[in-house]
Amino acid sequence: MENRLERIKKHLHSQSYKLTPQREATVMVLLEHEEDHLSAEDVYLLVKDKAPEIGLATVYRTLELLAELKIVDKINFGDGVSRFDLRKEGAAHFHHHLVCIECGAVDEIEDDLLGDVEKIVERDYDFKIMDHRLTFHGICYRCKSKHETDQKDPTEAQNQV
Q: What are phi and psi of 123, to 5 degrees?
A: -75, -50
Considering the complex, what minimum distance in angstroms separates the CB of residue 3 from DNA? Answer: 17
- Asked if residues 110 and 88 have their Cβ atoms less than 8 Å apart, the reply is yes
Select from 5, 45, 75, 81 the one that contacts DNA (CB under 7 A): 81
Q: Which residues bind its own copies (CB under 8 A)?
A: 74, 76, 78, 80, 82, 98, 101, 107, 109, 111, 113-114, 116-118, 120-121, 123-141, 144, 156, 158-159, 161
Considering the complex, what minimum distance in angstroms separates the CB of residue 23 from its own copies? Answer: 22
Binding segment toward DNA, per CB under 7 A, in 15-23, 28-36, 113-121, 143-151: 15-23
Binding segment toward DNA, per CB under 7 A, in 33-41, 85-93, 136-144, 153-161: 33-41
Q: Is 56 exposed, middle or buried (0-12, 13-18, 19+ CB in 10 A)?
A: middle
DSSP 73-102: EEEE-SSS-EEEEEPPTT-SS--EEEEETT
- Asked if residues 28 and 68 have their Cβ atoms less than 8 Å apart, the reply is no
Q: Taking the chain, what is the end-to-end CA distance rounded to the nearest angstrom?
A: 34
Select from 1, 14, 49, 53 the one that contacts DNA (CB under 7 A): 53
Considering the complex, what minimum distance in angstroms separates the CB of residue 16 from its own copies? Answer: 24
Q: Give the separation between CA 8 and CA 1, rounded to whole angstroms.
A: 11
Of 19, 130, 110, 131, residue with least CA distance to 66: 19
Smaller CB distance to DNA: residue 14 or 158?
Answer: 14
Binding segment toward DNA, per CB under 7 A, in 28-36, 39-47, 104-112, 121-129: 39-47
- Residues in touch with DNA (CB under 7 A): 13, 16-23, 39-41, 51, 53-58, 60-62, 64, 80-82
